[in-house]
Amino acid sequence: MSITTINARDLQKMFLAGAKNLQAKSEWINELNVFPVPDGDTGTNMTMTIMSAAKEVASLENPDMEQLAKAISSGSLRGARGNSGVILSQLFRGFTKEMCKQDKLDVFALAACCEKAVQTAYKAVMKPKEGTILTVAKAISERSVELLEESDDLEYVIGESIKAGHEMLLKTPDMLPVLKQAGVVDSGGQGLMEVLDGAYEAFLGKEIDFTIDNARTMGSMPKVSAEDVDTANITFGYCTEFIILLKKEFTQSDELQMKDYLTGIGDSLVVVADEEIVKVHVHTNDPGLAIQKALTYGELSNMKIDNMRLEHQEKVIKDAYKLARQQKDGIEENEGEAYEQKQPEEEKEYGFIAVSVGIGMNAIFRNLGADYVIEGGQTMNPSTEDILNAIEKINAKNIFVLPNNKNIVLAANQARDLTEDKNIIVIPSKTAPQGMAAMINFMPDQSPEENEAAMTEEMDNVKTGQVTYAVRDTEIDNKVIKQGNMMGIGDSGILSVGADKEQVLLEMLEQLQNEESEIISLYYGAEVEEKEAQKLADEIRKRYPDCDVDLMFGGQPVYYYIISVE
């Protein structure tokens, strides 16, 4: 017997099943990242986006279509993280615009919902690229329309439409050479198909646990801070903390093995586990080893690495402040202490929000005038709601938002579009150095439009490179990369590969620098010693005597060095 309509209650179950299936596959989707970097996050971003909506959907009792549509759209829009998460939220937004007009969905209404979803998502992306999640969604929509002439049986129509999506997903490497070279399909498209596969299983009546667990933090579990540790005599210098979001059962044997391993590379160990997450704290000289071990159990959240040996940390941050002050007149020097600026009671003309990670980077943005620094970036993209919350806290008519990461620009744009009482201007900075250059060139006596143009123009003059390690073997940008290799990643792709991170950076710098370059800024991360970074900066000065070379403590995780050339 064919099924010709879906009611709101059934659709609610399908959505929750899709969310659960994506959540279960998130780590695998992360591994489809084109670049083999340790912060591949498509699966994480899409999961956090859909789970934000799933929590609202799960709280509804016997919803009608309008209530369900609002929960899906609002929850996913506010929870959207990263480009993939924002596009997923836009697909939901378009789908629900049509869905809320119906009491039940038949094949005609379903096709209309799919068409609206694709239209809305394409409009949200400034330069849509084929071979991505958008292409996969379009294939599903087009097939659902074609099937209107064949059948009114939803089981057949949904099944065949999803089949078309899988077929298109397999073609994505032929559309994007970078996917073919890396040997992967589009990770965003794969994420979308996991949502739809889960939803279809629920439609077919498969028994699924629809419970959405809101407990994604450690709650009352013990917390250990680097500030609680006597730093006078330190054997292991990096206070390393993170939460593992488990992808499989974490048995007592696993816990003992984990503790055994971490004890071998550090001390001050705390490992506390429950059914879904594990809280880890350890002091070690190699946080990367602890992170790599943890990644075998699941994905990571709430990562925090503090270098306890930096006795002159305040001096280093002061130096960073001084550099910012030299580049822009009128900025007062802070005494090296990270601070939250107090917001004026009276509304001011301009405000600034910057996304940043690492205590050195955060300090520079604050000193340049950022009213609010959102902790995030490569390892954890802030959501649209995170940016909206920051906007709400700033009492200004015009607020500039600097995402400082290409994967956060869409979320910032979405926050701008959801704000009605303030003028939000997104400067599409893709790296922290670009964001700094933009802020340095802000002029308070100019209009918002003039500042937007000047800040964007100056930002485009900054070339950025980052050094990190490869998490898997691959071949990309005509370079053979082995797991554990160091990679120099520029604005346009991987520029250098090798065993030594300093040599990789120097080889990358050769490609970033030219005879017009004047300033080279080097930011060293949480896992790099100051003397090691100073030696590298001296070598750069020798090689490029006509450039001003500035060394600063960035404190960023995962990326050993970030370098910019202007």
Q: What is the mean pLDDT of residues 456-481?
A: 89
Q: Flag whether pLDDT at 373 surpasses 90.
A: yes
Distance CA 188, CA 32 (A): 9
Q: Cα 188 to the chain's mean position, in Å? A: 13
pLDDT in tens, 277-304: 787 878 888 888 999 899 999 988 878 7
Hey, what are 186's tokens? 């589009």
User: What pTM value is reported for the model?
Assistant: 0.69
Sorting pLDDT into bands at 50, 70 and 90, what band is 494? very high
- Mean pLDDT along residues 522-529: 92
The residue assigned the tokens 């300033």 is: 519
Res 183: pLDDT: 82
Instruction: Please say if the pLDDT value at position 347 is more than 80.
Output: yes
Residue 461: how many other CB atoms lie within 10 Å: 12
DSSP for 378-393 reads SSSPPBHHHHHHHHHH
- Whether 340 has a pLDDT exceeding 50, the answer reads no
User: Per residue in 98-134, pLDDT tens?
Assistant: 999 999 999 999 999 999 999 999 988 877 889 999 9
pLDDT score of 477 more than 70: yes
pLDDT winner (highest mean) among 222-236, 269-283, 309-323, 358-372: 358-372
pLDDT score, position 77:
87
Q: Residue 147: pLDDT band by 50, 70, 90 thresholds?
A: very high
**DSSP letters along 459-520, please?**
HTT-EEEEEEE-SS-EEETTEEE-TT-EEEEETTEEEEEES-HHHHHHHHHHHH--TT--EE
What is the C-alpha to C-alpha distance for residues 530 and 317, in angstroms, rounded to an integer? Answer: 12
- Give residue 38's pLDDT: 58
If you average pLDDT over each of 30-34, 143-147, 436-440, which comes out highest? Answer: 143-147
State how beta strands 493-498 and 561-565 pair.
unpaired
pLDDT mean across residues, the chain: 85
Specify the higher pLDDT residue, 30 or 374: 374
Reply yes or no on whether the pLDDT at 468 is more than 80.
yes
pLDDT digits (tens, 9 = 90+) for 350-361: 999 999 988 889
Structure confidence at residue 318 as a pLDDT band (50, 70, 90): very low
Instruction: State residue 280's pLDDT score.
Output: 82
Q: What is the mean pLDDT of residues 449-457?
A: 94
CA–CA distance, 97 with 540 (Å, rounded to integer): 55
Tell me what percent of the chain is helix, strand and coil, each rounded to the nearest 5.
50, 20, 35
Q: What is the mean pLDDT of residues 363-391?
A: 86
Quote the pLDDT of residue 356. Answer: 92
DSSP 8-state secondary structure symbol assigned to residue 226:
G
Residue 79, pLDDT > 90, answer no
Q: What is the band of 312 on the pLDDT scale with cuts at 50, 70, 90? A: very low
Integer angstrom CA distances of residue 89 from 15, 71, 164, 166, 304: 13, 12, 21, 20, 29
Percentage of the chain beyond pLDDT 90 is 55
Residue 279, beta-bridge partner list: 243, 272
* Percent of the chain residues topping a pLDDT of 70: 86
Residue 418: its pLDDT value, please? 93
Q: Is the pLDDT of residue 306 over 60?
A: yes
pLDDT at 263: 85
Decide: 425 and 395 in contact? Cβ < 8 Å. Answer: no
